[in-house]
């Protein structure tokens, strides 16, 4: 089996571990600083393997020594949003946590690919890139896959159809400034604008932007984790199986879309090397402005952390 490590045994990390093992995508190392938490969750999952028909191994540990030779390291560590908090409210605390995590990852798995999930993900991915010293194609963030899945799900529910038949792309930062692209959305090849009126599409776009907050307001003590974990698994599988999937990811831009030295959600080709290609869509003026406005929010956050001059 291939080896994947997950840093953070909270809801997102543990659910990701479970799905990876359930689908036999990889053996999983689950790391957390809380004594007994990763060990207990890993043991619980192991005890269900015979029922689920999986032979993937899951190890829970408090030591980074176990992540040696991991092909992918998924970082979910950090504090989660609570009602009334924005993703940027997590900035300072999670920056401290991620700095420590990345130092340990680099020390123990210098050849790994880093997939960031911790919020605010576009900022934390840039921080991981800077602190790791890795090539940018080996450090990227998950957000657009989740946001696109949410948009697809809302469209499918509105039309009363299978979500499998919906294609959609959401760019920009993982927050209220994200940039859903209805012009690129379709259902089995049929442009979305031929199936839904503009007012309905705009309502679904706005719900997509606020989807994470909607879940938090309902759950009160937790943010989303089933759908984020599913998004992480899709990206992980694309890398391990070199699928060359075209997905939106928080990737390092160096001139693409007129943006430089910033991580923000854009379409990429995801394969064995990580982000193998960044695709530049022909955005109209409004879409490009929205993408640049989204990036500007995260540039300001990076300035607050002293990561950019």
What's the confidence (pLDDT) of residue 309? 55
Q: What residue segments make up the domains of the chain, in order of their start?
A: 3-141, 144-304
What's the confidence (pLDDT) of residue 92? 84
Cβ neighbours for 243, distance < 8 A, ≥ 6 positions apart: 237, 270, 271
Q: What is 3-141's CATH topology? A: Rossmann fold (3.40.50)
What's the confidence (pLDDT) of residue 254? 95
Give the residue, 304 or 25, on which the prediction is more confident: 25
19: its two tokens: 């799905």
Cβ neighbours for 257, distance < 8 A, ≥ 6 positions apart: 266, 280, 283, 288, 291, 292
Give the chain's length: 309
The Cα angle at residue 253 between residues 117 and 269, in degrees rounded to 5 = 70
What's the confidence (pLDDT) of residue 228? 97
What's the confidence (pLDDT) of residue 307? 79
Distance CA 166, CA 149 (A): 9
Question: Rounded mean pLDDT of 243-249?
Answer: 98
What's the confidence (pLDDT) of residue 79? 80
270 within 8 A of 239, measured Cβ to Cβ: yes
Q: What is the pLDDT of residues 61-106, one digit of tens each?
A: 999 999 999 999 999 998 876 777 666 677 888 999 999 999 999 9
Annotated catalytic residue, options 11, 137, 174, 193: 174
Burial (CB count within 10 angstroms: exposed 0-12, middle 13-18, buried 19+), residue 198:
exposed
Q: What is the pLDDT of residues 130-146, one digit of tens each?
A: 999 999 999 999 989 99
What's the confidence (pLDDT) of residue 175? 81
37 within 8 A of 9, measured Cβ to Cβ: yes
CATH second-level architecture of 144-304? Alpha-Beta Complex (3.90)
The band of 186, judged by pLDDT with boundaries at 50, 70 and 90, is: very high
Q: Is 137 annotated as catalytic?
A: no
Distance CA 178, CA 183 (A): 15
Mean pLDDT of the chain: 95
Distance CA 91, CA 81 (A): 11
């Amino acid at each position: 089996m291939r080896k994947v490590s997950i840093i953070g045994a909270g809801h997102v990390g543990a659910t990701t571990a479970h799905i990876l093992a359930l689908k036999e995508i990889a053996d999983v190392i689950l790391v957390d600083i809380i004594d007994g938490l990763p060990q207990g969750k890993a043991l619980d999952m192991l005890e269900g393997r015979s029922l689920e028909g999986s032979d993937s191994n899951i190890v829970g540990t408090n030591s980074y020594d176990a992540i040696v030779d991991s092909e992918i390291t998924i970082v979910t560590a950090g504090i989660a949003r609570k009602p009334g908090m924005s993703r940027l409210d997590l900035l300072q605390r999670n920056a401290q946590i991620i700095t420590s995590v990345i130092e340990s990852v680099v020390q123990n798995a210098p050849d790994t690919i880093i997939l960031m999930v911790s919020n605010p993900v576009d900022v934390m991915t840039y921080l991981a890139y800077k602190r790791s010293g890795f090539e940018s194609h080996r450090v990227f963030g998950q957000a657009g896959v989740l946001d696109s899945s949410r948009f697809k799900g809302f469209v499918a529910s509105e039309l009363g159809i299978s979500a499998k038949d919906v294609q959609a792309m959401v760019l920009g930062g993982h927050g209220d400034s994200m940039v859903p692209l209805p012009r690129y959305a379709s259902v089995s090849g049929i442009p979305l604008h031929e199936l839904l009126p503009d007012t309905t599409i705009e309502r679904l776009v706005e719900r997509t932007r606020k989807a994470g907050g909607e879940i938090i307001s309902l759950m009160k003590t937790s943010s989303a984790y089933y759908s984020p974990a599913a998004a992480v698994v899709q990206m992980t599988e694309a890398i391990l199986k070199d699928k060359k999937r075209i997905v939106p990811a928080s990737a390092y831009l160096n001139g693409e879309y007129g943006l430089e030295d910033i991580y923000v959600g854009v379409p990429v080709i995801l394969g064995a090397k990580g982000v193998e290609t960044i695709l530049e869509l022909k955005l109209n003026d409004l879409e490009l402005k929205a993408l640049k406005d989204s990036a500007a929010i995260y540039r300001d956050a990076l300035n607050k952390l002293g990561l950019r001059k």
